[in-house]
A and B are shown apart, each in its own frame.
Chain A
């Protein structure tokens, strides 16, 4: 199905200057804002002369907010750096890493938290260091605490008092109970130091795979189009390096992440015109026709920004519910998942009966 015109303009506008009328610009901005892509659009479009005044104002507005958030991210990394002592590696994941590495794709990218990856043997040590230095975890009940500790791949989020950003501490990049769980030790051996900082980042190939995993096999669905934009940005940086595609496929095979990579490449090509060589797609096993049909029906509905003139339609909510069910199944085997969902539903019902609003 072809993309709606304003979404096409938006996605093109993340790479090349746009020449649009004011009403067209307004529609592009209205698609961009709910998915947090307006500052990325600004990073590419603001340098061009001849933008209509109101459009320039809105792009400038987005750019300023992104700069402010970037500053907060840098401040948090600055506060974290004395906690990295060199006795075990600390990897910055995702947005924080892109910013530290000064990647082109980080320009105008909103980040709302910092994700740290440490070896599981040092998870407690890192957590203690954060606590001693003043970070505080949100109060959780015993059940949520156990969910995070035993079934998840991260500890409960922590926050330095007054900081706008949360710190999530991970010991893996897949849920430990999930079907794609793998031993994260090679992530560390492939990781790279960021010069001038005590932090490490994943190799570019691993960053691509992590972004694919996060986009197509994990948690929240809102803003997911941004993950495809991330995948596209990382791939374009990689495409300029010799032997990148071979290394990427080899790494995906090594970690058993063919499937998320296939989805990432597929949608980056389809939506972002990402220059993935056809030979690369041929070397990856293609999902069955039925799976592809399901995903090609659900993914655009759930991921692309909806029509800005109307409330989200029912079919969008249905698509999101189905994808969420898929994530849950990929995350936990049924004998863990069913009691977990039952517990959450019971708690929601109790809260409702107690007169409060249902918890998300």
Chain B
């Protein structure tokens, strides 16, 4: 059998290769990865996947299935939603095999090379705040994965489009400079549209940053801004809880979160207004080590 023709996406911390006969998927990839120059797809890829339409005789709407290394650990999606399937599926695969790094469930933005980590559970407004900070002039490093190199303590960018969900789509679209991909209504996770980081963030995707600040964000509609310092021991525990692979890394993971918590300032930030939250994070970074 012939090898399908792959398209290689270099996100910084990882390279993802994708093959598909679906023209809509390629058009959508062009929209959400507009700053990636064509790459030699024969080079090493951390994840290599195919998105293939399911047989026509199956009942219901035409579905697409994602394959990786002859396996398909995912549910099918309607063919029109191939992009969300690709983004979620390839992130899941990366989370299984990038255990050379500590993977935090966190957005990461930076000023110069000083990074702010925004670790949070789903639904806490992490993606929205990450995108809003980026639109306010911060460098975008990642949304889903905060990738920490335990050997050096540095953060590696994983520059991929950030999946905005439901109400947050309008909130970010309304901000000047926001570039969003197509809207995918009623996916398994609700309405989704991908926020596209700017050209500078993509071109600096191999430039590492040093963590200076950890902010645990929590959006609460209508809430006044409250910001409390989190001590290092508690910050380390919460970083571990917001990690994909803290447990699996054993002593390496423990050492990584402890060092990260000691070398940064950590805060808990509850907010109802995005602009207030942005200026608060700006101030916190100024006083951080």
Known A34-B71, A308-B69, A312-B70; contact A22-B44, beta-carbon cutoff 8 A: yes
Q: Are A64 and B99 in contact (CB under 8 A)?
A: yes
A53-83 vs B, CB cutoff 8 Å, 1 = contact: the mask equals 0111110111011011001000000000000
A233 at the interface (CB under 8 A from B): no
- Minimum Cβ distance to chain A for residue B158 (Å): 14
* Interface residue? A306 (CB, 8 A): yes
7 smallest CB-CB distances across A and B, nearest first, come from A61-B99, A57-B100, A308-B69, A22-B44, A306-B70, A68-B248, A60-B100
Given contacts A61-B99, A64-B249, A68-B247, 12 further A-B contacts (CB under 8 A): A30-B69, A31-B69, A52-B44, A54-B46, A61-B100, A68-B248, A306-B70, A309-B19, A309-B70, A310-B50, A311-B50, A312-B70
Does any Cβ of B come within 8 Å of A26's Cβ? yes
**B residues within 8 A CB of A246?**
none
How far is it, in angstroms, between the C-alpha of A55 and the C-alpha of B15 when the chains are bound?
A: 13
Please name the residue on chain B nearest to A313 by beta carbon. B1
A173 to chain B, nearest CB (A): 30
Q: Determine the chain A residues whose CB is within 8 A of the CB of B3 once the complex forms.
A: 309
Given A306-B70, A307-B70, the answer on whether A26 and B48 have CB atoms closer than 8 Å is yes
Closest to A316 in B: B70
Q: Verify A309–B4 contact, CB threshold 8 A.
A: yes
In the bound complex, do residue A305 and residue B70 qualify as a contact, i.e. CB atoms below 8 Å apart? yes
Q: Does A33 contact B (CB under 8 A)?
A: yes
Binding site for B on A (CB under 8 A): 22-23, 25-26, 30-31, 33-34, 52, 54-58, 60-62, 64-65, 67-68, 71, 305-313
Cβ of A65 and Cβ of B43 under 8 Å apart?
no
Residue in B45, B70, B252 whose CB lies within 8 Å of A310? B70
> A55 — nearest CB in chain B belongs to which residue?
B44
Are the CB atoms of A311 and B44 closer together than 8 Å?
A: no
B98 at the interface (CB under 8 A from A): yes
Inter-subunit contact B44/A23 (CB<8 Å): yes
Residues of A within 8 A of B50 (CB): 309-311
Q: Which of A22, A60, A62, A308 is within 8 Å of B70, CB to CB?
A: A308
Chain B contact-residue range equals: 20 to 34
A54 B99 Cβ-Cβ under 8 A: no
Decide yes or no whether B67 CB sits under 8 A from chain A.
Answer: yes
A22, A62, A308: residue with the most chain B Cβ atoms closer than 10 Å: A308
In the complex, what residues of B have CB within 8 A of residue A311's CB? 50, 52, 67, 70, 72
* A54 touching B44, Cβ below 8 Å: yes
| A–B Cβ pairs within 8 angstroms, 18 of them | A23-B43, A26-B45, A30-B48, A31-B69, A34-B69, A34-B70, A34-B71, A54-B44, A55-B44, A57-B98, A58-B97, A61-B98, A61-B100, A64-B100, A65-B248, A308-B69, A309-B3, A310-B1
Asked if A65 contacts B250 (CB within 8 A), the reply is: no
With both chains docked as a complex, state the minimum distance between the C-beta of B125 and any C-beta of chain A, in angstroms: 31
Question: Are A60 and B67 in contact, CB atoms less than 8 angstroms apart?
Answer: no
B42 at the interface (CB under 8 A from A): yes
- Contact between A61 and B97 (Cβ–Cβ < 8 Å)? yes
Roughly how many angstroms separate A71 CA and B253 CA in the complex, as a whole number?
Answer: 15
Cβ A33 vs Cβ B98 within 8 A = no
Residues of B within 8 A of A64 (CB): 99-100, 248-250, 252
Instruction: Tell me the bound Cα distance from A67 to B52 in angstroms.
Output: 35
A26 CA to B46 CA, complexed, in Å: 8
Inside 8 A of A26's CB, which chain B residues have their CB? 44-45, 48
